[in-house]
């Protein structure tokens, strides 16, 4: 079981991921609606893993990923992207993301990515 921070500007998407995670025995310790909030929540909760949307207002997911990596170089972050964001996914992996999941979310893929990342 992991302590997870969910980051997405869409409350509906956060709810979908939370549902998948809690049904699989994980604990969602915090949620954030943008990258700036994600960095603050990471500092506060120090989760085992973060699911991070790429496209958000205020601060995007890749910038937030870089900021979180500055705080904790061992941070485990899985990026969430819509189809057609391959270039951004590559940027995210280069910035230190461990994996990515594509929207719309498939429960088995989300859990596979989390289990692989937690190793």
| pLDDT given at position 87 | 86
Q: Number of structural domains, the chain?
A: 1
Instruction: Print the domain residue range for 65.
Output: 1-116
Specify the CATH number for the domain of residue 37: 3.40.50.2300
What's the pTM?
Answer: 0.94
pLDDT band at 8, cuts 50/70/90? Answer: very high
50 Cβ contact partners less than 8 Å away, ≥ 6 residues apart: 4, 5, 6, 7, 38, 42, 68, 75, 76, 77, 78
Paired with 78 in beta bridges are 51, 99
| pLDDT given at position 84 | 73
| pLDDT given at position 54 | 94
| pLDDT given at position 67 | 98
pLDDT band at 43, cuts 50/70/90? Answer: very high
| pLDDT given at position 110 | 96
Q: What is the pLDDT of residues 102-111, one digit of tens each?
A: 988 899 999 9
What average pLDDT does range 26-42 have in this prediction? 98
């Amino acid at each position: 079981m992991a302590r997870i921070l969910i980051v997405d500007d869409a409350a509906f998407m956060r709810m979908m991921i939370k549902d998948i995670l809690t049904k699989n025995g994980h604990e969602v310790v915090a949620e954030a609606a943008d990258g700036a909030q994600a960095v603050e929540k990471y500092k506060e909760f120090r989760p085992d893993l973060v699911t991070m949307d790429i496209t958000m207002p205020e601060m995007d997911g890749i910038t937030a990923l870089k900021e979180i990596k500055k705080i904790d170089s061992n941070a485990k972050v899985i990026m969430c992207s819509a189809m057609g964001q391959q270039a951004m996914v590559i940027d995210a992996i280069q910035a230190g993301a461990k994996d990515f999941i594509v929207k719309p979310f498939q429960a088995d893929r989300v859990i596979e990515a989390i289990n692989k990342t937690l190793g």
